[in-house]
Amino acid sequence: MSAAEAARDIAAGRLAAEDYVRALLARIDEREPEVQAWAWLDAAHALREARQSDAWREDGLRVGPLAGVPVGVKDIIDVQGMPTEDGTVLHAGRIAQADAALVARLRAAGGWPIGKTVTTELATYAPGKTRNPHDARHTPGGSSSGSAAAVAAGMVPLAIGTQTNGSVIRPASFCGVVGYKPSFGAIGRSGVLSQSPPLDQVGVFARTVEDAALLAEALWGHDPRDAATRPLPAPPLSRVAASDPARPPRLGWARMPWWDRVAPDAQAAFGALLDRLGDLQGAIELPHAAADAIAWHRTVMEADIAGSFEAEYERGRAQLSDSLIGQVERGRRITAVDYRKALARVAPLNEAFAPLFERFDAILAPATLGTAPLAADGTGDPIACTLWTFCGMPTISLPLLVGANGLPLGVQLVAARGDDARLLRTARWLMRHIPAPGRS
């Protein structure tokens, strides 16, 4: 069942949260030895949380839209009393003393963190232990690897991740689930490992668009300790996502600057999708500056990584991966002038996209360069996400395609910054009209 269905049944007393969690724990026992999605999970604690949810409902207390639903939480997000080790031995044994702001919102909505999902090293590129649920020889992507894999393997209905480059959309595509990254500043980040404050964004994983909207709406809102958020009402994501558009949406697509790097089978699958959409899609020309966003993003991200992980580099360099050492050392050479110039490009680039979003409901693009590479080859290239992450635009990956090897391929939809509700409605429409592989 979907997370929304489970929450409704638990709230109505048709399903005990404890029974639901026992079923999920059985699934975890079955799949975890191969998938290895969890950095920390205590079955006894999970059952206690489920019994507490049942007790609150039986006492007539308000249970919230996520009543009794357990959620996987990426292991860079603090959950009180649980380890938060950030995918590095340098942080081993760290126990969070308080909930991150988004975890507090999760609890307020009736949901709760069942455990911590595996992340890559400090949420960068060096992989953790997780394997792709569809084929253990392949990567699940990074850095939210455990969150995507846990949802794909049916271990948990929902999970939370983060994205500084492509760390929600890429693993969602590789694992064949819905991955939604809201607009920059939508979900508070206090209590979350900081990598690059101008780029760090929280996202969610689910098996349906409706479930992704449900979780994101619960997490959405002002965080007094995060200056990127604002004290504004949360948009009605669930209501709008569940509605039908007044007319079929129009989708724009462009040959991205990196299109020649997309695998041939992924190009063919995406081309077939465009053919199926027919007149509902149209070619667009990206703003000229879009091609430069890759370099601007790298400047901002690597300069911030050098600052954010200075202590780890200075005190524990021998325990860091070569890839992270390289990022830190490149970041140290970036000047303040270059950093500020790159960051200043965000607003003008969003403005340059505005005319396109007046003509189209969303931009359609591949979520990745192809299916998941072999685990030995790393977590995959995030370049298909970089432009949109730099702009802070909302994006969603939908499991609509498969590659020649039978592994999932995500389709990415992108909307104007702040237009999250319409993006989710468009995504749901696309999922219904272009069924995912294996669905009629």
The answer to whether 140 and 175 are in contact (CB under 8 A) is yes
Query: How far apart are the C-alpha atoms of 91 and 75, rounded to whole Å?
Result: 11
Q: Which residues contact 405 (CB under 8 A, 6 or more apart)?
A: 265, 371
Buried b (16+ CB within 10 A) or exposed e, 182-191: bbbbbbbbbb
Query: How far apart are the C-alpha atoms of 84 and 78, rounded to whole Å?
Result: 6
Task: Please give the backbone phi and psi of residue 153, each rounded to the nearest 5 degrees, phi first.
Answer: -85, 0
Cis peptide upstream of residue 321 (ω within 30 degrees of 0): no
Closest CA to 79 of 132, 124, 26, 117: 117
Query: How far apart are the C-alpha atoms of 275 and 212, rounded to whole Å?
Result: 27
The answer to whether 99 and 81 are in contact (CB under 8 A) is no
Give the single-character DSSP code of 373: P
Q: Is 73 helix (H, G, I), strand (E, B) or coil?
A: strand
Q: Which two tokens stand for residue 6?
A: 């489970």
Q: Is 304 helix (H, G, I), strand (E, B) or coil?
A: helix
Q: Which residues contact 292 (CB under 8 A, 6 or more apart)?
A: 345
Q: Calculate helix-pair angle for 322-332, 293-308, nearest 10 degrees.
A: 100
The Cβ of residue 294 has, within 10 Å, a number of other Cβ atoms equal to 15
Active site (catalytic) residues: 74, 143, 167
- Locus of tokens 């969602």: 172
Q: Between β-strands 362-366 and 281-283, what pairing exists: parallel, antiparallel or unpaired?
A: unpaired
Q: Is 377 helix (H, G, I), strand (E, B) or coil?
A: helix
- Measured in whole angstroms, how far is the alpha carbon of residue 394 from the centre of its chain? 11
Widest CA span of the chain, in angstroms? Answer: 60
Helix (H) or strand (E) holding 181: strand 178-181
